[in-house]
Amino acid sequence: MKNIFKWAGIALASGAALVVIASVVLAMFLPLDKIKDFAAAEMSKTLHREVKIEKASFNIFTGIKLEKISISERRNDAKRHFISADAIELHYDLWPLLQRKLVIKKAGLAKPEIFIEKLPSGEFNFSDLLAPQKKEDKKPGEKTALPFELFMESFYIRDGKMVYEDKGAGTASSINDFNLSVSGFELAMSKPVEIKASSNVVYQGKTVPIAVSCKAKADLQKETVVLSPITLSIAGESANASLTASGFKKGPDISLSLSSKKISVDPLLSIFSSPDKKTAKKTDLTKTVDQLTASIPRTLKAKAAIDISNLTFQNFTVDKIVLSAGITNKNATLDLKEIKFYEGSLSGTAKANLNVPGLAYEAKDMRLKGFNAHPFSNSVIDTFLTNLTDYKDLKNKIYGKLDIIVSLSGRGVEPKTILKNLTGDAKLSLKNGEIKRTKILASVGDIIKSNSLKGDLKIGELIADAGIKNGIVNIRDLAFAHNDFKLNFKGGIDLNRLIWIAGNRLTLSLAPHATTGLSKEFELLRDPSGWLELTFELTGSLKLPIPKPIFEKPVENLKKKVEEKATKIINEEKEKAKTAITNKVSEEAERLKEDAAKKIKELIKF
């Protein structure tokens, strides 16, 4: 026990001696005031801004501090600093002090604040720092090197903040609670540098947490930077990625791979939406997207491989996305290799022109196979028809498996803008389906006293051929068959005003066994095989359509029957007249014969 205390005492005494020696050595060759003044002067010269460092201090255990640093704005009337920080912290290694070397194991910024301002002219408050600087001639004997050797292994930022104000747009956003850790500088030539960062981004009143960690390796001679692996988290949504960037002089060439097991797009899009629905502008998202696409350089070349599972976007869900994408000269392409959602699959290619305001896009022969119509149709209604009063009444009406072939082009990023500019054609087939009771068919059933149209309808196959332009859906053909009836519709639907376009035709053909007991007037509506055919024009709103009977067919049938009856009567009258004339002629002939005989007798008698 005595030996243990003895050695412990020796260790403590040695440690204390080491601390004393290190303190003396540090004080001898590290004049802190000189470092403070040197750093402030050199930074002021380089930045052409006033740089102040109020205090320099050190603690043998914690390190060196340059406290209360500020870099002024270029405008003298500015009310705040361009950059300020509580301190620059330098954490050194004790052992090299004995060799009169200062090895900084870690350097960092404590509570830095950066203020970025965009003026109405489009100029930033840091634009002057980006301009080429003239090299100043050194005076004879002037020293520009630090008064100590610096070997830094890692760097950090703690509790940082950046504020961005756009004076022209009158908007402001900020990055709060910014923390950054960069380590591995000493092995950067052979091993990647490790980077970790996190922050809370505040945009238009919304706070979005962001965190990223990655390993970075750079080859300056080959102009190549590799970030891999990357772990990214935004608004609680996470993804893994790797990125390679090269060719910075001619224009960046980027290769990206992105994967995620579960992600929602809505929290990401919420960053760009206004927090106040009453004052929100409809073009907020469009303007933001335009600003983002305008910032993409034309020289950028990029390609990406994306593999995402369990993605949600607004009211749509996607089980699996495997695609490749690329961009050249601000034109993007998409190759959909495997998209699975609603029990079906989607394949095809698409293009987007980022040079056009609001984005312009085009897709040809996109094929959707085996979709579950029920949740898919509900998602479409919840996304695009919410401005319709009681739009929920349209939900849960269609069941079955959908196959669709669609080609489209358009522009816009918001539902209303998309609808207005969308142009396209689609062919649809719904198999083994069911259509729940609809007000359209139920109202027709009331007119003709048919219970078959008032309930749920089982259908073997429904086919449709339609197009859309300027918010108008033109249904060239929609048809399906039921045991009791057949339906066909041709006409237009105005999705902007949510009404039926005049001139549409809904034709119902009802089987003979489903139309027994009807009054004789309905017999005019039957075809030669006994099916009862009714034609309507749908009027009014999409929610409450009013079927207006069209009597073109019955009138034609009635006209035909009248003509047939008239022809029969004429023919009958002709036969009667012919018989009467023949009889008259015969009678006249007999009379003439008798008269002739009398005349002959009289002559003979004469």
Q: Where are the domains of the chain?
A: 24-130+145-194
In the numeric block, which tokens belong to residue 20? 């004393």
Helices (H), 30-181: 32-47, 127-130
| Interval 65-75: pLDDT, tens | 888 888 888 77
Cα–chain-centroid distance for residue 406? 18
What pLDDT sits at residue 504? 93
| 298 phi and psi angles, rounded to 5 deg | -65, -25
Rounded to whole angstroms, what are the CA distances from 154 to 105, 211, 293, 333, 527? 6, 19, 35, 40, 89
Q: What's the mean pLDDT in 338-363?
A: 88
Residue 46 pLDDT exceeds 60: yes
CA nearest to 151, candidates 106, 94, 196: 106
Mean pLDDT estimate for the chain: 76
Q: Which residue type does 546 have?
A: I
Task: Please identify which residue in the block is written with the tokens 């087939």.
Answer: 429
SS3 percent helix, strand, coil of the chain, rounded to 5, is: 30, 45, 25
What pLDDT sits at residue 409? 93
What pLDDT sits at residue 477? 93
Q: What angle do CA 76, 80, 86 make, to 5 degrees?
A: 125
Separation between Cα atoms, residue 302 and residue 299, nearest integer Å: 10
Residue 492 pLDDT grade (very low, low, confident, very high; cuts 50, 70, 90): very high
Q: What's the mean pLDDT in 84-110?
A: 76
Task: 439-442: list long-range contacts, CB under 8 Å, 24+ apart.
Answer: 439/544, 439/545, 440/506, 440/538, 440/545, 440/547, 441/487
Residue 545 pLDDT grade (very low, low, confident, very high; cuts 50, 70, 90): confident
| Interval 152-205: pLDDT, tens | 678 888 999 888 887 766 777 788 899 989 888 666 566 788 899 998 887 666
Residue 277 pLDDT exceeds 50: no
Residue 441 pLDDT grade (very low, low, confident, very high; cuts 50, 70, 90): low
- 3-state SS of 151-208 is CCCEEEEEEEEEEEEECCCCEEEEEEEEEEEEECHHHCCCCCEEEEEEEEEEECCEEE
Residue 13 pLDDT grade (very low, low, confident, very high; cuts 50, 70, 90): very low
Answer left, alpha or beta for residue 552, where phi above 0 means left and psi between -120 and 50 means alpha. Answer: alpha
Q: What's the mean pLDDT in 258-284?
A: 60
Q: Which residue type does 577 have?
A: A
Q: Which residue type does 412 have?
A: G
Do 154 and 184 touch, CB atoms closer than 8 A? Answer: yes
**Number of Cβ within a 10 Å radius of residue 406:** 19
What pLDDT sits at residue 468? 94
Give the SS3 label for residue 341.
strand
In the numeric block, which tokens belong to residue 457? 């309808």
Residue 461 pLDDT grade (very low, low, confident, very high; cuts 50, 70, 90): confident
What pLDDT sits at residue 109? 85
Residue 134 pLDDT grade (very low, low, confident, very high; cuts 50, 70, 90): low
pTM of the model: 0.58
The residues pairing with 526 across neighbouring beta strands, listed in sequence order, are 532
Burial class (CB in 10 A: 0-12, 13-18, 19+), 95: exposed
Separation between Cα atoms, residue 268 and residue 413, nearest integer Å: 14
Task: Please identify which residue in the block is written with the tokens 């994408």.
Answer: 325
List, in order, residues 6 or more apart from 375 with CB less than 8 Å away.
Answer: 317, 342
The per-type count for the chain, helices as H runs and strands as E runs, is 9, 27
Q: What's the mean pLDDT in 388-402?
A: 74
Give the SS3 label for residue 293.
helix
What pLDDT sits at residue 543? 73
Separation between Cα atoms, residue 348 and residue 587, nearest integer Å: 91
| Interval 221-233: pLDDT, tens | 778 889 889 998 8
**Number of Cβ within a 10 Å radius of residue 41:** 13
Do the strands 301-313 and 253-260 form a parallel or antiparallel pair, or are they unpaired?
A: parallel
